[in-house]
Structure 1
Amino acid sequence: MTEAPARKRLTDAAIDAFAERGFHATTTRDISTRAGMSPAALYVHHASKEQLLYEVSSSGHIECLEMIRAAAATSADPVQRLANMQFAFTRYHATHTAGARVVQYEIAALTPEHRREVAGYRRDIERVYHEAITDGVEKGVFDVQDVPGVSLALISMAIDLVRWYQPQGARTPESLGRIHAQMALRSVGVTHEVAPEETPAD
């Protein structure tokens, strides 16, 4: 079902406010004002500011999980698969910088129940990387001693760019994706260049 215009305006305004000021420094009035609505408008659509953050965080994590699963399914070749995954994961975070900043760095503001749910999505994303790298190790094309550690490092590399990436800068999400794809391959012992296969942008 398509999100109602008013609800989407509030969601978009919340993402911008949380990304700019952080969850705790953002008031419900800030969000409603950005959305061009009355101060009480948020409570018409959401039980609380935390509930709105949860919806942003959970939907963002689910979207990211679906994206990385799709990227992992693009190739049976471990080298090409990892290049495609890191390209897609990096491009996603550069393309959705504000939303990703909220999704990745405001998790501590969620209630324990909501935080546990979101943490589960994070573990699922880690599992996709873990399985892809393990497959490369078992096939003898990756040289990795610590698969979980490398998986987390590659995920963190893409996530961290939301702290500094500026969409109006010289680097595009695609150029960053290609750089990160090569860095990912170097981290598993692949020294030759591999061009990632670009799936449609999310």
Structure 2
Amino acid sequence: MTVETDESFGGVTPDAARRLLLGAVQAFAERGFHATTTRDIAGRAGMSPAALYIHYKTKEELLFHISRVGHERSVAVLEEAVEGAGDSAGRLAAAVRAFVRWHAEHHTTARVVQYELAALGEEHYARIVVLRRRSEEILREVLQEGVATGQFAVEDIRGTTLAVVSLCIDVARWFSPEGRRTPDEIGELYAGLALRMAGYRDGGR
């Protein structure tokens, strides 16, 4: 079976380790973590089950590496989007566009990253939570800045932050390349929704 490529794992070496990660992404997305066997993963990578243990001690360690890379990339996407994006409204819109686009373009990986967290061990889960909180923090700071400057009218900043994050990551659950909207179109739509959730008012929206 051909393994779907994902640039998020481009820096993983050696090649065999990267192929195993990509095989695991496909298997976890299709079957779920608990229903996936190491044989499933190795087969998708074109390797024997024994070869998997050369690079990863357990199936859970594979899931952790996928989650770590995915969360690090999504944090980087948010940080890059808000940098130099202008005022608070521009920063929020840019962040949401980029965050949504990443979850759509990499929907298979994102689905595993966002919806298989409960299968992680305690130590690995704690490390991923730090990255998830950073994503929330970036958006929360933009909302706080907007409230402080009078651009946004948000009473519950924390709750609105979680609502915006949830809206963005849920794209990975339902997005299909064969669907009616492109990742860019969905990103633009959701940016407008996020601005309205923040209480932003502009004549062009």
Task: State the secondary structure of the residue aligned to 1:177.
Answer: helix
The separation in 2 between residues aligned to 1:30 and 1:193, in whole angstroms, is: 54
- Distance in 2 (CA, whole Å) between partners of 1:66 and 1:168 is 27
Structure 1 residue runs of 4 or more that deviate by more than 6 Å after TM superposition:
none
TM-score (norm: length of structure 1): 0.93
1:78 aligns with 2:83: no
Q: TM-score under structure 2 normalisation? A: 0.91
State the one-letter code of the partner of 2:162: L
CA RMSD, 1 decimal:
1.4
- Deviation string for 1:46-105 (max 9, x for gaps)? 111000110010111111111101111132301111110000010010011010001001
Q: Are residues 1:88 and 2:108 paired? A: no
Partner of 1:98: 108
The residue aligned with 1:199 is none
Say whether the 8 Å CA contact 1:86–1:180 is kept in structure 2. Answer: yes
Greater relative contact order: 1 or 2 (C-alpha under 8 angstroms, separation 6 or more)?
A: 1
Q: Secondary structure at the match of 2:49?
A: coil
Q: Which moved more, 1:68-77 or 1:137-146?
A: 68-77
In 1, Cα distance between equivalents of 2:156 and 2:18? 42
Residue 42 (structure 1) aligns with: 52
Distance 1:2 1:25, change over 3 A: closer
1:30 aligns with 2:40: yes
Alignment of 1:109-120 (within 5 A): 109-120=119-130
Which residues of structure 2 form unaligned runs of 5+? 1-10
Structure 1 segments unaligned to the other structure (5+ residues) = 196-202
Q: Deviations over 1:96-149 (max 9, x none)?
A: 101000100111111100000100111111111110000000000100000011
1-structure distance, mates of 2:26, 2:202:
40
Output the CA distance in 1 between the equivalents of 2:172 and 2:96. Answer: 15
Question: How many positions carry a matched residue from both structures?
Answer: 195
